Amino acid sequence: MAQLIDGKRISQEIKDELKEKVASLKERGKTAALAVIQVGNDPASCVYVGNKKKACEYIGIGSVSYEMPEETKEEALLALIDKLNEDTAVNGILVQLPLPSHICEDKVIEAISPQKDVDGFHPQNVGRLAIGKKGFVSCTPAGIVQLLKRSGIEIAGKNCVVVGRSNIVGKPMALLMLRENATVTIAHSKTRNLKDTCRQADILIVAIGKPQFITAEYIKEGAVVIDVGIHRDGANRLCGDVKYDEVAKLASAITPVPGGVGPMTIAMLMNNCVETML
């Protein structure tokens, strides 16, 4: 049976390290505050935003929340972002996605100062990642690299297949694995022979957004499998993009859902917030 990659434990370890770092930075007079903006009442977003605020409190940084109604105008959101960009008491700005359909997400992301973009979504930060310069990195992919490293899984020289090409996960994930010297393939829903492509992977990272899509047939024996998906199955239980029970029999290591990638996203957001203090 596969080694379980315990995201809950590893994210706790990271948050505890950050808590210590924040305490010593505070002794040197440095503080940090994260502004968290939510537009509307999407139930999943409410849970994520709540968890982000709790994590700030745990590691000892301030958080200021802005809860805006669903019908908020784009200009009003952009004006708030401008104000926060100028506010020296705010080091990080996070706008929870998705936004209501009348607001252009790209415009909002581009309005955030790249120096305060703790989500790592601004084109300037994505560009810096692409050319190997320092900058904020998208939290879920950064968390996956930490999961692998802290589980003793070597990345350099391995065949890594990333299934999914979103701006938030798939693309930055591929760039990060390349930075770690993996040989990287990006596959997606239109890839021909997806099974054959996935079966080449020593490390398979799945962010395709389809419940239990990846079955044993997609897995090379001994592969490491990272599942970014989170869904509810027919019995209302949480499940991922990977059919866990059958894939775990073949894989050498696998992330569970829940308790795998999910908690790492918040730990890496906290890491980005602490970087703003340095």
Q: Would you call 119 a catalytic residue per the annotation?
A: yes
> Which member of 2, 14, 84, 139 binds ligand GUN (CB under 6 A)?
139
Pair 276, 116: CB distance under 8 Å: yes
Residue 136 token pair: 């904020």
Under the binding rule (CB under 6 A), the answer on residue 94 touching ligand GUN is yes
CB of 139 to ligand GUN, least distance (A): 5
Contacts for 90 with CB less than 8 Å, ≥ 6 apart: 33, 34, 35, 64, 84, 116
Q: What is the DSSP string of 57-122?
A: HHHT-EEEEEEE-TT--HHHHHHHHHHHHH-TT--EEEE-SPPPTTS-HHHHHHHS-GGG-TT--S
Catalytic residue among 6, 38, 52, 202: 52
Q: Does 125 participate in binding ligand GUN (rule CB under 6 A)?
A: no
The active-site residue, picked from 96, 117, 146, 243, is 96
Q: Is 146 a catalytic residue?
A: no
For position 63 contacting ligand GUN by CB under 6 A, the verdict is no
Answer yes or no: 96 catalytic: yes
- Reading phi first (left if > 0) and then psi (alpha if -120 to 50, else beta), residue 138 is in beta
Q: Does 96 bind ligand GUN (CB under 6 A)?
A: yes
Q: Is 163 in the site for ligand GUN (CB under 6 A)?
A: no
Q: How far apart are CA 146 and CA 202, in angstroms?
A: 17
Binding residues for ligand GUN, how many (CB under 6 A)?
A: 7
Q: Does 117 bind ligand GUN (CB under 6 A)?
A: no
Rule CB under 6 A: which of 171-200 touch ligand GUN? Answer: none
Among 247, 50, 255, 246, CA closest to 148: 255
Which position among 6, 38, 117, 119 bears the catalytic label?
A: 119
Which DSSP symbol is given to 235? T
The DSSP code for 218 is: G
Q: Which is nearer to ligand GUN, 36 or 248 (CB)?
A: 36
228 binds ligand GUN (CB under 6 A): no
Just list the catalytic residues: 52, 96, 119
Interface positions with ligand GUN (CB under 6 A): 94-97, 119, 139, 265
